[in-house]
Amino acid sequence: MKFEEKEQAIAYRCQGLSYNDILQRVPVAKSTLSLWLRSVGLAKRQRQVLTERKRLGQQKGGRVRHEQRLRITEAIRKVAVADIGAISQRELWLIGSALYWAEGAKQKAHRVSAGVIFSNSDPWMIKLFIIWLRQCCGVPAADMSFTICLHESSADRLEEVRRHWSRAVGLPLDRFGRTSWKKNKLNTKRKNIGKDYFGLLRIVIARSANFNRQITGWVEGICKNCGVV
């Protein structure tokens, strides 16, 4: 009773169609189709066509999933941005104190007079820290100096890096002092290389040993009021 369907299925397979393509044309169970076609071989060119179609299908599925993730990410981001709302001066003060706690230079037993030094590769974080210095701490711009820290392997990109930081944080090029160079390791496993690598920016505050001690106190106050200590 299925003789005609079987003949059609074999003919389609000989043309290089996949099982799914054949099932769309021949309405039988997949197990039946597999039984019919198990002895039907494919020519090299037919196998190549099927392989290429499979690859293209996987790529298309990957693009669809990628676009779906982008839509989900954007939706989450918009809601999260709205969650924050307006930030008060006190909240900004606490945020900046926590930022310095995470990324700033600390006074140690061997350097009890270390000043305020903040380094990061994220332009948004750098800009936020500058706003905190000016608005919450009253640090004048003249007391801030800026140094680009860059690996020696990117020496040929120095001017590009300087322009990047100038645009990113809104500072004129003449505000960046001497570049600080990092030695390259022969067997480095760093991922921050290539055209998207711009090193990091270091902010140094003049005559700021006591300011550093003050920030340490603010951080301790945060910890005490959060039940950490």
pLDDT one digit per residue (tens) for the chain, 229 residues: 577 888 888 888 877 788 888 888 888 888 888 888 877 766 566 766 777 777 777 888 888 888 899 999 999 999 999 999 999 999 999 999 999 999 999 999 888 899 999 999 999 999 999 999 999 999 999 999 999 999 998 999 999 999 999 999 999 999 999 999 998 775 556 566 778 899 999 999 999 999 999 999 999 999 999 999 8
CA distances from 192 to 24, 120, 178, 198, 199 (A): 49, 13, 22, 9, 8
Q: By the 8 A CB rule, do 180 and 202 touch? A: yes
Distance, in Å, from the CA atom of 24 to the CA atom of 18, rounded to the nearest integer, reads 10
pTM of the entire predicted model = 0.73
Rounded to 5 degrees, what angle do the CA atoms 60, 64, 67 make? Answer: 135
Q: Is the dihedral of CA 70, 71, 73, 78 positive or negative?
A: positive
**Res 66: pLDDT:** 86
**Res 18: pLDDT:** 82
Distance, in Å, from the CA atom of 111 to the CA atom of 131, rounded to the nearest integer, reads 27
Rounded to 5 degrees, what angle do the CA atoms 34, 35, 41 make? Answer: 70
Distance, in Å, from the CA atom of 73 to the CA atom of 179, rounded to the nearest integer, reads 37
**Res 103: pLDDT:** 96
| Residues making up the chain, counted from first to last | 229
**Res 48: pLDDT:** 65
**Res 101: pLDDT:** 97
